[in-house]
């Protein structure tokens, strides 16, 4: 931290590149969904631009940070930015947890004839034989027969893996603070490895669900909430593990000082956030 | 906190980039503010043109000009464009321009992200506008995008949904930037309770945005998977519930409408004291009222759904909770009135728009109170009464205050004075026509005319004709505004304004202590004195 000034960059080219990339990606995806033949090419092109932007922008930030252009005050802006970003992610997951709560506790019981809610007349006129229960694929038995996901096999192992990765991440942080580069790098390697291991096991679980249990995204409300919640979480684990890999690479390059390592902190906060979301998933999706 | 200095060693030349590139790669809060404002004005005219299509069709009963499907696309797109393209970006533009100036900061806290949040907005708007030309037409479900109706949209559906995602990311980035700026970039001595109220209202608005934009993103994501990936979130046969969408949407939607009104309150609280030549009455109660309104906005959402068939306990809870909002809102209206009480007022255009805002917003607030009463809401629900209600809180409130803000700050931004006579003409044309436009809709609604229908029974003909006449007068009056703005930017009346622009304005807020027109970079060193007029 060689300067006291608030660093204000004057020309930014990455934002517009990223915007164009993201827009082409999404327009491409929309075309894919509509069955249009230009969709896949567009989507891949957009993604490539977007990834180039990510690499370029983050490299720029890392170079600027290492050359001491960011004052303590700039660092505070970054930390606030990351904190509020994580808050927005919390709200995003809250929607799907809320959906799970609402369907389990309100709409499915109403469809089964409980309470004086709106679903009761639906029960009486459309599906008088439907009995409320969980898991369910609804009175129309959408998606056909399925077997619900168990708790104490892979999911429990994954819980242990993520919790351990939280510990190794903190251990790495202690190494960084104590100027013990070896501990920092070893801790990060362990964290990233555990992260990708988690994703791998999750993929195995999905494979088993689709091929052996008849459990798919289309298995009524149980399949919908199960795959939406665990899927978005898995995606976040992937992103978190990639961020941590970059942090690992930078640590190996000799970046970060005990008093200045925002990227490490942000990655660690993000990692702990996906960890906490998983605990919520384990309790509300797998256990209850 | 150490002193705030903008310059970095590498950048001693601080003029803007030459040519068009300046606007694409700029990180300057004033440039980005201008981009937002110009963009929102363009969207205001696009959305306005759609409103005129609606009013032309409704000029008399029967189907004259457009197909019903296209009519419904117009109501949907008009709303989406006005909410996400015009009103919200206009306030973000003002935030970009004014927050750093008002708190004595050299720029926004995260300038590169600031650039990206603007361009993502443009990208989102492009995706949305492109749906107008697609097979099956633009979304025609109403801006609330309720399933199952919205799932019948043609090729436009995924584009509309991804547009919402982009607009959401843009808003969240903008909001994070605003919060970081306010918390981290204030000049020494600018304590939270010394901030101008516009800054306070935006701080709270930004919090609302970060809290609810992801919720909307989640809701439309579930629409996407229900349509394309066989999920059953909003399908009762699979154990889901279409009403669930309404709950999630309005959990977003109610804070969202306050996103459009809280900065409005902030600008009004900034303008009225200057022209009343008095400090704002009840500064701290304004802050607490704003925070209370924001808090309440999270716990009242289902008052949009009284007729959907909720358990009676839910109806009662949401009815009483909604009524509570009248209390902090009443505090605000009282404070604006008390600020004007015994002030030595003058009535320049910004003040005229602000006074009209206080009166007409209160009217819109009262109709809101009427609809909070669950049993009587069954009569008003989905009629023109609700249309009249929310247009009163948006047009002669948010839009009028945006006009007021333009007249108030344009002289500061450009160094040129607008034409006061034309400004007053614009005001009176707008203020009269907006009432001709929306007031009769109350009668139509109470008499039972439904919204979002291209045709109507003959007994509604007279008031619809009056309303349409008001609409066309209001719409074309805004071309006068465009003319005044362009004229002001290109030299105005020729009279150069002082640094203060308005008498004693520098007692109220920091921006008036700076030169007019504003230099490209301001507060590269923090201001020495903080105005404390609002005590």
B179 reaches A (C-beta below 8 A)? yes
Interface A–B counts its CB contacts (< 8 A) at 246
A210 contacts in B (CB within 8 Å)? none
Phi–psi pair at B282, nearest 5 degrees:
70, 50
Partnered with residue B456 across adjacent β-strands are none
Give the total number of structural domains in chain B: 1
The answer to the question of residue B410 being in a domain is yes
CATH number of the structural domain spanning residue B210: 1.20.210.10
What gap in Å lies between CA B113 and CA B178, rounded to an integer?
11
Asked if the Cβ–Cβ distance from A138 to B240 is below 8 Å, we say: yes
The answer to the question of residue B535 being in a domain is no
- Considering only CB atoms, A26 lies closest to which of B3, B165, B212, namely B165
Tokens of B150: 């919205």
Q: What is the mean pLDDT of residues B60-88?
A: 96
Residue B396: C-alpha distances to residues B28, B45, B359, B390, B400 (Å):
31, 16, 9, 10, 5
Task: Say how many C-beta atoms besides its own lie within 10 A of residue B434's C-beta.
Answer: 23
A16 contacts in B (CB within 8 Å)? 24-25, 115-116, 119
B115 contacts in A (CB within 8 Å)? 12, 15-16
Asked if the Cβ–Cβ distance from B238 to A140 is below 8 Å, we say: yes
> What is the rounded average pLDDT for all residues in chain A?
94
The answer to the question of residue B530 being in a domain is no
pLDDT digits (tens, 9 = 90+) for B322-358: 999 999 999 999 999 999 999 999 999 999 999 999 9
pLDDT digits (tens, 9 = 90+) for B400-444: 999 999 999 999 999 999 999 999 999 999 999 999 999 999 999
Give chain B's largest Cα–Cα span.
73
Question: Looking at CA atoms only, how far is residue A235 from chain B in angstroms?
Answer: 15
Give every CB contact of residue B31 below 8 A, 6+ residues apart in sequence.
B16, B22, B23
Q: Given this model, what pLDDT does residue B515 score?
A: 94
Contact A163, A275 (CB under 8 A): yes
What gap in Å lies between CA B15 and CA B114, rounded to an integer?
19
pLDDT digits (tens, 9 = 90+) for B248-296: 999 999 999 999 999 999 999 999 999 999 999 999 999 999 999 999 9
Which residue is it, tokens 């996906």? A274
Q: Is the pLDDT of residue B7 over 50?
A: no
What gap in Å lies between CA B510 and CA B270, rounded to an integer?
12
Phi–psi pair at A39, nearest 5 degrees:
-50, -60
CA B408-B413-B417 angle, to 5 degrees, is 60
Question: Looking at CA atoms only, how far is residue A162 from chain B in angstroms?
Answer: 25
How many CA atoms are closer than 13 Å to the CA of A109, on its beta-carbon side? 10
The answer to the question of residue B305 being in a domain is yes
The answer to the question of residue B444 being in a domain is yes
In a mutational test of the B interface, the residue from A29, A43, A68, A91 whose CB has the highest number of chain B CBs within 10 Å is A91
Three-state secondary structure call for residue B415: coil
What gap in Å lies between CA B372 and CA A94, rounded to an integer?
27
Task: Say how many C-beta atoms besides its own lie within 10 A of residue B514's C-beta.
Answer: 18
CA B296-B289-B331 angle, to 5 degrees, is 115
Contact A214, A146 (CB under 8 A): yes
Asked if the Cβ–Cβ distance from B3 to A4 is below 8 Å, we say: yes
Q: Given this model, what pLDDT does residue B513 score?
A: 94
The secondary structure of B52-100 as a DSSP string is HHHHHHTSSSS--SS-HHHHHHHHHHHHHIIIIIIIHHHHHHHHHHHHH
The secondary structure of A112-125 as a DSSP string is TT-SSSTHHHHHHH
B138 contacts in A (CB within 8 Å)? none
What gap in Å lies between CA A217 and CA A229, rounded to an integer?
11
Confidence of residue B175 (pLDDT cuts 50, 70, 90): very high
In chain A, how many H helices and how many E strands? 9, 0
Put simply, the chain B residues between 396 and 435 with a CB less than 8 A from any chain A CB are none
Q: What is the mean pLDDT of residues B122-138?
A: 96
Q: Is the pLDDT of residue B493 over 90?
A: no
Contact B185, A74 (CB under 8 A): no
Q: Given this model, what pLDDT does residue B309 score?
A: 86
- What domain range is B491 assigned to? 27-513
B6 reaches A (C-beta below 8 A)? yes
Question: Looking at CA atoms only, how far is residue A181 from chain B in angstroms?
Answer: 30
pLDDT beneath 50, residues of chain A: 1-2
- Considering only CB atoms, B239 lies closest to which of A27, A117, A221, namely A221
Three-state secondary structure call for residue B10: coil
Asked if the Cβ–Cβ distance from B122 to A19 is below 8 Å, we say: yes
Q: Given this model, what pLDDT does residue B5 score?
A: 44
A57 contacts in B (CB within 8 Å)? 112
Q: Given this model, what pLDDT does residue A4 score?
A: 61
Contacts 24+ apart (CB under 8 A), B358-363: B358/B268, B358/B272, B358/B333, B360/B392, B360/B396, B360/B397, B360/B400, B360/B434, B360/B435, B361/B264, B361/B333, B361/B392, B361/B393, B361/B396, B361/B397, B362/B333, B363/B392
The answer to the question of residue B452 being in a domain is yes
In a mutational test of the A interface, the residue from B121, B221, B239 whose CB has the highest number of chain A CBs within 10 Å is B239
Contact B45, A40 (CB under 8 A): no
B19 reaches A (C-beta below 8 A)? no
Q: Given this model, what pLDDT does residue B6 score?
A: 44
Confidence of residue B3 (pLDDT cuts 50, 70, 90): very low
Asked if the Cβ–Cβ distance from B183 to A11 is below 8 Å, we say: no
Partnered with residue B383 across adjacent β-strands are B450
pLDDT digits (tens, 9 = 90+) for A155-205: 999 999 999 999 999 999 999 999 999 999 999 999 999 999 999 999 999
Q: Given this model, what pLDDT does residue B172 score?
A: 98
Closest C-alpha to B200, from B274, B280, B141: B280
Put simply, the chain B residues between 184 and 203 with a CB less than 8 A from any chain A CB are 184-185
Contacts 24+ apart (CB under 8 A), B511-517: B511/B98, B511/B101, B511/B102, B511/B409, B511/B412, B512/B412, B514/B101, B516/B411, B516/B412, B516/B415, B517/B412, B517/B413, B517/B414, B517/B415, B517/B416
- Considering only CB atoms, A118 lies closest to which of B185, B232, B309, namely B309
Put simply, the chain B residues between 279 and 338 with a CB less than 8 A from any chain A CB are 308-312
Give every CB contact of residue B324 below 8 A, 6+ residues apart in sequence.
B296
Residue of B nearest to A102 (CA): B244
Question: Looking at CA atoms only, how far is residue A37 from chain B in angstroms?
Answer: 14
The answer to the question of residue B18 being in a domain is no
Phi–psi pair at B450, nearest 5 degrees:
-75, 155
For each of the domains in chain A, give its residue range(s) and CATH number, in order of start: 1-70 (1.10.287.70), 72-287 (1.20.120.80)
What gap in Å lies between CA B212 and CA B255, rounded to an integer?
7
Partnered with residue A257 across adjacent β-strands are A260
Q: What is the mean pLDDT of residues B120-147?
A: 96
Put simply, the chain B residues between 159 and 178 with a CB less than 8 A from any chain A CB are 159, 161-162, 165-166, 172, 175-177
Q: Given this model, what pLDDT does residue B24 score?
A: 94
Contact B249, B328 (CB under 8 A): no
B180 contacts in A (CB within 8 Å)? 76-77, 80-81, 84
The secondary structure of A43-94 as a DSSP string is HHHHHHHHHHHHHHHHHHHHHHHHTT---HHHHHHHHHHHHHHHHHHHHHHH
In a mutational test of the B interface, the residue from A2, A6, A31, A121 whose CB has the highest number of chain B CBs within 10 Å is A6
Question: Which tops the pLDDT comparison, B14 or B526?
Answer: B526
Angle between helices B242-276 and B88-103 in degrees, nearest 10: 50
Which residue is it, tokens 């071309």? B479
Q: Given this model, what pLDDT does residue B1 score?
A: 35
Closest C-alpha to B340, from B352, B326, B327: B352
Interface confidence, given as ipTM, is 0.95
The secondary structure of B113-171 as a DSSP string is HHHHHHHHHHHHHHHHHHGGGSTT-S--STTTT-TTGGGG--THHHHHHHHHHHHHHHH
Residues of B designated as active site = 78, 107, 143, 170-171, 254, 256, 258, 269, 303-304, 329, 332, 451
For B515, which DSSP code?
Answer: -
B14 reaches A (C-beta below 8 A)? yes
Question: Looking at CA atoms only, how far is residue A182 from chain B in angstroms?
Answer: 33
Asked if the Cβ–Cβ distance from A23 to B166 is below 8 Å, we say: yes
pLDDT digits (tens, 9 = 90+) for B509-535: 999 999 999 999 999 889 988 887 654
Q: Given this model, what pLDDT does residue B530 score?
A: 85
In a mutational test of the B interface, the residue from A2, A19, A72, A143 whose CB has the highest number of chain B CBs within 10 Å is A19
Asked if the Cβ–Cβ distance from A30 to B239 is below 8 Å, we say: no
Question: Looking at CA atoms only, how far is residue B241 from chain A in angstroms?
Answer: 6
Q: Given this model, what pLDDT does residue A117 score?
A: 66
Three-state secondary structure call for residue A260: strand
In a mutational test of the A interface, the residue from B111, B238, B251, B520 whose CB has the highest number of chain A CBs within 10 Å is B238
Question: Looking at CA atoms only, how far is residue A61 from chain B in angstroms?
Answer: 11
- Considering only CB atoms, B180 lies closest to which of A23, A77, A111, namely A77
> What is the rounded average pLDDT for all residues in chain B?
94
Question: Looking at CA atoms only, how far is residue B506 from chain A in angstroms?
Answer: 26
Q: What is the mean pLDDT of residues B462-481?
A: 98
The answer to the question of residue B22 being in a domain is no
């Amino acid at each position: 931290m060689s300067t006291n000034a608030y660093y204000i960059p004057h020309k930014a080219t990455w934002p517009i590149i990223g915007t164009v990339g993201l827009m082409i990606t999404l327009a491409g995806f929309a075309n894919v969904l509509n069955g249009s033949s230009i969709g896949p090419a567009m989507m891949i092109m957009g993604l490539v631009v977007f990834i180039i932007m990510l690499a370029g922008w983050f490299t720029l930030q890392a170079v600027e940070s290492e050359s001491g252009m960011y004052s303590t005050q700039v660092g505070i802006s970054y930390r606030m930015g990351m904190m509020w970003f994580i808050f927005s992610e919390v709200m995003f997951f809250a929607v799907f947890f809320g959906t799970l709560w609402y369907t389990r506790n309100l709409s499915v019981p109403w469809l089964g004839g409980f309470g004086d809610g709106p679903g009761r007349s639906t029960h009486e006129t459309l599906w008088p034989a439907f009995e409320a229960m969980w898991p369910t694929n609804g009175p129309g038995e959408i998606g056909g027969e399925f077997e619900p996901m168990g708790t104490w096999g892979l999911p429990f192992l994954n819980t242990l893996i993520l919790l351990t990765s939280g510990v190794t991440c903190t251990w790495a942080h202690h190494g960084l603070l104590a100027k013990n580069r070896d501990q920092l790098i070893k801790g990060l390697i362990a964290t990233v490895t555990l992260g990708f291991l988690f994703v791998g096991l999750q993929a195995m679980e999905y494979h088993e669900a689709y091929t052996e249990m008849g459990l798919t995204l289309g298995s009524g409300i149980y399949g919908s909430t199960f795959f939406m919640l665990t899927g978005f979480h898995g995606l976040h684990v992937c992103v978190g593990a990639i961020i941590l890999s970059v942090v690992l690479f930078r640590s190996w390059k000799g970046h970060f000082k005990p008093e200045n390592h925002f990227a490490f902190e942000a990655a660690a906060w993000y990692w702990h956030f996906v960890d906490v979301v998983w605990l919520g998933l384990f309790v509300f999706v797998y256990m209850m | 906190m150490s002193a705030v200095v903008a310059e970095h060693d590498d950048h001693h030349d601080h003029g803007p980039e030459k040519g068009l590139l300046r606007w694409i790669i700029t990180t300057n809060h004033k440039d980005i503010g201008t981009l937002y404002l110009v963009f929102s004005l363009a969207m205001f005219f696009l959305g306005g043109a759609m409103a005129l299509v609606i009013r032309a069709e409704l000029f008399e009963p029967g189907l004259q000009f457009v197909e019903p499907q296209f009519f419904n696309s117009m109501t949907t797109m008009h709303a989406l464009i006005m909410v996400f393209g015009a009103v919200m970006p206009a306030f973000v533009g003002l935030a970009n321009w004014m927050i750093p100036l008002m708190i004595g900061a050299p720029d926004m806290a995260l300038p590169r992200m600031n650039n990206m949040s603007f361009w993502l907005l443009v990208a989102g708007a492009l995706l949305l506008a492109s749906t107008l030309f697609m097979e099956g037409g633009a979304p025609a479900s109403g801006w609330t995008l309720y399933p199952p109706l919205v799932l019948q949209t043609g090729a436009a559906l995924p584009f509309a949904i991804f547009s919402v995602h982009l607009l959401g990311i843009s808003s969240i980035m903008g909001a994070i930037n605003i919060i970081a700026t306010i918390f981290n970039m204030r000049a020494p001595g600018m304590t939270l309770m010394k901030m101008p109220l516009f800054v306070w209202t935006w701080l709270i608005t930004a919090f609302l945005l970060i809290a609810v934009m992801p919720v909307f993103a989640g809701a439309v994501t579930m629409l996407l998977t229900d349509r394309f990936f066989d999920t059953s979130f909003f399908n009762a046969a699979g154990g889901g519930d279409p009403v669930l969408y309404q709950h999630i949407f309005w959990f977003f939607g109610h804070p969202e409408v306050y996103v459009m009104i809280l900065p409005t309150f902030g600008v009004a609280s900034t303008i009225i004291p200057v022209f009343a030549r008095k400090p704002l009455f009840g500064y701290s109660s304004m802050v607490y009222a704003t925070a209370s309104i924001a808090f309440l906005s999270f716990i009242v959402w289902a008052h949009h759904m009284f007729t959907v068939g909720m358990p009676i306990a839910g109806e009662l809870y949401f009815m009483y909770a909604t009524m509570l909002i009248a209390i902090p809102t009443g505090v605000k209206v009282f404070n604006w009135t008390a600020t004007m009480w015994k002030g030595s007022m003058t009535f320049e255009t910004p003040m005229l728009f602000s006074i009209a805002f206080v009166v007409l917003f209160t009217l819109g607030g009262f109709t809101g109170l009427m609809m909070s009463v669950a049993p009587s809401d069954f009569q008003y629900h989905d009629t023109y009464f609700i249309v009249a209600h929310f247009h009163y809180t948006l047009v002669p409130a948010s839009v009028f205050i945006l006009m007021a803000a333009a007249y108030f700050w344009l002289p500061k931004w450009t160094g040129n004075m607008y034409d006061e006579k034309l400004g007053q003409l614009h005001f009176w044309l707008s203020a009269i026509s907006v009432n001709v436009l929306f007031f009769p809709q109350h009668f139509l609604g109470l008499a039972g005319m439904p919204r979002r229908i291209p045709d109507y029974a003959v007994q509604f003909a007279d008031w619809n004709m009056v309303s349409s006449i008001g609409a066309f007068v209001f719409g074309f009056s805004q071309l006068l505004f465009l003319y005044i703005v362009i004229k002001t930017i290109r030299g105005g009346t020729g009279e150069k304004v002082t640094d203060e622009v308005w008498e004693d304005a520098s007692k109220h807020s920091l921006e008036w202590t700076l030169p007019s027109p504003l230099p490209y970079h301001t507060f590269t060193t923090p201001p020495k004195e903080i105005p404390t007029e609002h005590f």
